[in-house]
Amino acid sequence: MRSPEQNIDRILLGSVIILIIIGIWLVFSATIYLADLKYKSAFYYLERHILRSALGLLVMILLIALLDYRKLREYAFLIFGVAVILMVLTLIFGGKRWLKIGPLILQPSEFAKLAMLIYLAHLVEKNRERLGSFKLGFLPLISVVFLVSALTLVQKSFTMSFLIFISGLFLIYFGGARFRHIAIVLIAMVPLGVFAVLLEPYRVKRLLSYFGEGMPYQTMQSLIGLGNGGLFGVGPGHSRQRELFLPLAYNDYIFSILGEEYGFIGALFVLFIFFVIFYRGFKIAESVYDDFGKLLASGITFMIFLTTLVHIGVALGLPATGIPLPFISYGGSSMIANCIAVGILLNISKQTKTLKR
C-alpha cells in the first residue's frame, strides 16, 4: 500500500489539465479570425498557445517530480530578490510591463506575485511569535507586499498591483496577523488608491463608467457577447464578438467568448472546475504538516481564486483593466507562472496527512 506522501492530488491535477484543454480550444476559436486577417494563418495564435501550454505542463510535472517544496525556504530570499530585480529591469529597459531577455519576452509581475508568496510564507513561519507586534512583526511583512505592489503599479498595471496586494495581505492574515493591523492598512490604502486612480485619466474614465457615465467600448462588447450566448450558447466557433468587436478576446475577455459560444451552462461548467481547484487547494493547506506548506498552499490557492474572480468581474463590467483567466487565456507568462504555482501546490499535496483523493 502506498503512503500518502507518494501521492499527489490527482483531482487538482486533472482539473487544471481540463482547463488548459478548454483554453486551447477557446483561444483557437477567439483568434481564428484575427490570425487569418493579420498573419494569413488561422493557426498563428493556436500554435503559440499550445507550445506555451505544453511548456507550462512540463514545468508543472518537473516540479511535482523533482521539487521538495520545503527546500524553497532556503531559497525564498533569493527567489524574491531575483523577481524584484526583474521588475526593476522592466522599468529601466523594458516596456510598460514586459522585459525581453534574449528570445524570451516576460511579464515579470506574473512571477513576482508567486515569489512574494514564497518569501512571505517563509517570513511568517520564521517570525510567527512577532506577528502580533505591528512594528516588529507586521510592518516588515507588509513592506514586502508594498514593494512588489508599488513596482507593479509603476508599470501601469493597477489591477495586477491590486491582486498582488490583496493576495499578500491574505497570506499575512492567514498566518496570524491581527485584524486591526489589517484594517489599518486597508484604511490607509483608500486615499493611496484614489490617488493612483486620479493619476491616470483612463482609470478615472473607467471608474466613472461604473457609475453610469458611459460604458467603455470593450465592456459593452463583452456584455453583448455574454448576452448573445443565452443559456446554451451560439455554438463552438460561432462567436461574433471575436471578429474584431471585442479587443483582446483571446486574453482579457476570453470568459466572454466562453459565455457567448457555450452559454450560461458552459460558463457554469468552467466555474465548477475552478471551484474544484479552490476546494482542493484549501484542503491541501488544511492537511499539510508544516506551517510553511500551509501558508504557501493557501496563498497560491487564494491568488488563483482572486485572479479568476477579477477576470470574470471585468467581463461583467467591473471597472478594472483585464487580466488573463488562469490556465485558459492566451499568454505565456501567465500560463507558465500559474503552472509553476500549481506544480508547487501539487508537490505540497504529496506531504499531506490523510487527504481524500
Q: Can you give the pTM of this predicted structure?
A: 0.92
Question: With contact defined as beta carbons under 8 Å apart, do 185 and 166 qualify?
Answer: no
Average pLDDT over residues 176-202: 83
Distance from C-alpha of 145 to C-alpha of 34, rounded to nearest angstrom? 38
The gap between the terminal CA atoms of the chain, to the nearest Å, is 15
**205 pLDDT tier (thresholds 50, 70, 90):** low
**According to the model, what pLDDT value does residue 120 have?**
97
**According to the model, what pLDDT value does residue 245 have?**
83
Which residue, among 11, 34, 30, has the nearest Cα to 22 in the 3D structure? Answer: 30
Distance from C-alpha of 17 to C-alpha of 20, rounded to nearest angstrom? 5
Average pLDDT over residues 109-136: 93
Domain ranges of the chain: 4-349
Cell 477557446 belongs to residue: 26
User: 10 Å Cβ neighbour count for 344?
Assistant: 23
pLDDT tens profile 2-42:
444 458 999 999 999 999 999 999 999 999 989 988 898 99
Q: Say if residue 198's pLDDT is above 90.
A: no
pLDDT tens profile 235-258:
998 888 887 788 888 999 999 999
Helix (H) / strand (E) containing 313: helix 291-315
**According to the model, what pLDDT value does residue 183 have?**
93
Amino acid at residue number 173: Y
CA 142 remoteness from chain centre: 20
**According to the model, what pLDDT value does residue 126 have?**
92
Of 32-36, 77-81, 156-160, 202-206, the poorest mean pLDDT is in 202-206
